Amino acid sequence: MRYIVDHDLHIHSNLSTCSRCPEQTPERIAQYAVDTGLKTICMTDHFWDEKVPGASPWYQPQDFPHISRCKPLPQPQGVRFLFGCETELDKNLTLGISPERMQEMDFIIIPTTHFHFEANLTDAERASVAGRVSAWIRRLGGVLDMALPFHKVGLAHLTCKLINRDREEFLQILAALPEDEMTELFQKAAQCGVGIELNAADICNLGDDADIILRPYRIAKACGCKFYLGSDSHNPNQFGEHRETFEKAVTLLSLTEDDKFILR
């Protein structure tokens, strides 16, 4: 059976510093779910736990009291609106969320590809295409080696443009990812039961570069990984376009319901 587009597990409100859109409220997000027929959505504002030392100046204000201001979340009939977060991983593989906070989250997104933050890469990793390839592998492997509640953890946007804002180098990095190392990582991811995100921003503008960008997901699928959908919305302007993008991802990867990450 074809993968059913019935959820969006990566959504930011105006509590995320990168949003600040006054219209991006829990109520507007809930209406997006109703309008597009989604059954499960999740609020995943950026978060660095005040219990974990090392927050960058950008993350420091986005602590638990701050992101909790969205609660209680509206619960329209037929929609499950969950409370989660998008935390951060620095260059030392310090994860910005404590075990205690993990228990309070319905879903935890971990981005391993936020290469635009200086605190997340070593100087050597930042300096070259080869360095960023190494960082992609090292950071993903570091997360998979952690003792995490993987049944409610998602790996965000593995082909995010923030890997390198220069499009040519971005594609060079993805093309250079070693297939054997990706296979080993995704086999481990499948064993852990972690979710692999299909991010709308990574899928919506695919062109001649589609095979390069989709290659990690195709390897992940072959390894038995499970996938969830995330719009990564920061404002309501594109709410109406997400379902089409999600359906595109399902078609391009030939996903079935057996490939779905189920957040219980």
Note if the pTM is more than 0.75.
Answer: yes
Structure tokens at 258: 């057996």
pLDDT at 56: 95
- Go through 179-217 and write b for each residue having 16 or more CB atoms within 10 A of its CB, e for each that does not: eeebeebbbbbbebebbbbbbbbbbbebeeeeebbbbbb
Split into its structural domains, the chain has a count of: 1
Is 140 part of a structural domain of the chain? yes
Asked if the structure places residue 264 within a domain, the reply is: no
Q: DSSP assignment, residue 245? A: H
Residue 2 lies in a domain: no
The pLDDT > 70 percentage for the chain reads 100
Establish if 1 belongs to a structural domain. no
Domain of 198 in residue numbering reads as: 7-259
pLDDT tens per residue, range 97-156: 999 999 999 999 999 999 999 999 999 999 999 999 999 999 999 999 999 999 999 999
Residue 126 forms part of a structural domain: yes
Domain of 206, CATH number, reads: 3.20.20.140
The answer as to whether 158 is a domain residue is yes
Residue 113, class by beta-carbon neighbours within 10 Å (0-12 exposed, 13-18 middle, 19+ buried)?
buried
